[in-house]
């Protein structure tokens, strides 16, 4: 059984704490957060210890894994502390907002033989994964297009957005990773991105956007399109379409039940789609944790490694540059 220290018990940290606590192959040993009341609450609910500092949570000899779910600017410091302590590492995306810091971290990590997993959970969604499997086994023939729709139900607060790094590095980075995951050995070669402020005036003060579209081309010529919005009044809109020479596969939105209603006034009426990412990707988070645990216990490579996190950030930075310049940007990994 693997013993975990969890750093960060915010929205995503609480989800990770619950998943660790209910997984029979691991145990939550310590939690740490600068918000001490939140940490105490998690401790009482789950029955784990409260670390009084990140150093205590990371260096404890009983701990096998350090799970990093803190604010992005702290990620690299905690990654390196955990690596020096010889711990396996799970870090939420993104690794950092500064690619120079990421590159320096990569070089430093080479000194330590520790596994690291970057938390791109959407790869583990069964429906999304099935689209890649259909492509890999030749069902759709030669891959020609990937289209991703990713829209949040409502924009986050301005305090969150100030430190998030902008839409492309915060929100779209999940979609960039999915594109890499589906393309596999066919890297993105160029990117064009645009965006607008259509409903959230708060983002003006941080020079961000609430609506975006991105077009990319892979080395082999596959065309990829991502459309994002911070507001979809009907719920958490998550769809993938993969199109090829022999057909197409779609990973569609999910509803709490598959019930459909037909009357003289409505046809195929359903419940609204899942409203929040925690509900939509509940299973994906659980599968991701199990895959990570299995990789550690069996001494296998992690499913989403440091380079995967680095590559997603490189494309996100290219999208930022494209938005600022109005030009296609060549991606150099």
The CATH 3.30.360.10 portion of the chain extends over 123-280+302-330
Give the DSSP H or E segment for 90.
Answer: strand 88-92
The CATH number of 2-114 is: 3.40.50.720
Instruction: Report the half-sphere exposure of 130 (CA within 13 A, side-chain side).
Output: 10
Kindly state the helix (H) or strand (E) to which residue 325 belongs, with its residue range. Answer: helix 306-325
The model's pLDDT over 131-140, given as tens digits with 9 standing for 90+, comes to: 999 999 999 9
Q: Which residues face 223 on adjacent strands?
A: 145, 217
Span(s) in the chain for CATH 3.40.50.720? 2-114
* 143-193 residue pLDDT tens: 999 999 999 999 988 888 888 899 999 999 999 999 999 999 999 999 999
pTM of the model: 0.94
Q: If phi over 0 gives left and psi between -120 and 50 gives alpha, with beta otherwise, what is residue 225? A: beta
The helix (H) or strand (E) run that includes residue 26 is: strand 26-32
Angstrom distance (rounded) from CA 171 to CA 164: 9
How do strand 49-50 and strand 65-68 relate by DSSP bridges?
unpaired
Residue 1: half-sphere exposure toward Cβ, Cα within 13 Å: 13
Quickly name the fold that domain 123-280+302-330 has. Dihydrodipicolinate Reductase; domain 2 (3.30.360)
For the record, the structure tokens of 160 come out as 């969150």
Cα–Cα distance, 49 to 32 (Å, whole number): 9
Please write the tens of the pLDDT for every residue from 177-236.
999 999 999 999 999 999 999 999 889 989 999 999 999 999 999 999 999 999 999 999
């Amino acid at each position: 059984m693997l013993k975990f220290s969890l750093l960060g018990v915010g929205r995503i940290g609480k989800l990770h704490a619950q998943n660790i606590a209910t997984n029979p192959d691991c145990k939550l040993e310590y939690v740490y957060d600068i918000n001490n009341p939140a940490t105490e609450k998690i401790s009482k609910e789950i029955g784990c210890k409260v670390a009084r500092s990140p150093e205590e949570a990371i260096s404890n000899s009983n701990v096998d894994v350090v799970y990093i779910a803190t604010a992005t600017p702290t990620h690299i410091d905690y990654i390196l502390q955990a690596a020096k302590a010889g711990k396996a590492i799970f870090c939420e995306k993104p690794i950092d907002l500064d690619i120079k810091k990421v590159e320096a971290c990569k070089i430093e990590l080479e000194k330590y033989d520790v596994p690291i997993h970057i938390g791109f959970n959407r790869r583990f969604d069964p429906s999304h994964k099935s689209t890649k499997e259909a492509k890999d086994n030749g069902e759709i023939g030669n891959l020609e297009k990937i289209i991703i729709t990713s829209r949040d139900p409502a924009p986050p607060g301005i305090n969150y957005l100030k430190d998030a790094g902008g839409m492309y590095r915060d929100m779209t980075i999940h979609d960039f990773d999915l594109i890499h995951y589906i393309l596999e050995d066919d890297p993105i070669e160029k990117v064009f991105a645009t965006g607008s402020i259509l409903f959230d005036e708060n983002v003006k003060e941080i020079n961000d956007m609430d609506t975006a579209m991105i077009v990319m081309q892979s080395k082999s010529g596959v065309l990829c399109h991502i459309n994002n919005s911070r507001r979809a009044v009907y719920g958490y809109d998550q769809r993938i379409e993969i199109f090829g020479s022999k057909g197409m596969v779609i990973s569609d939105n999910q509803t709490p039940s598959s019930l459909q209603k037909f009357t003289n006034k409505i046809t195929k009426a359903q419940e609204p789609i899942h409203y929040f990412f925690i509900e939509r990707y509940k299973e994906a988070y659980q599968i991701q944790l199990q895959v990570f645990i299995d990789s550690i216990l069996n001494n296998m490579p992690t499913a989403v490694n440091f380079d995967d996190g680095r590559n997603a950030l490189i494309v996100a930075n290219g999208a930022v540059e494209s938005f600022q310049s109005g030009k296609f940007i060549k991606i150099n990994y």
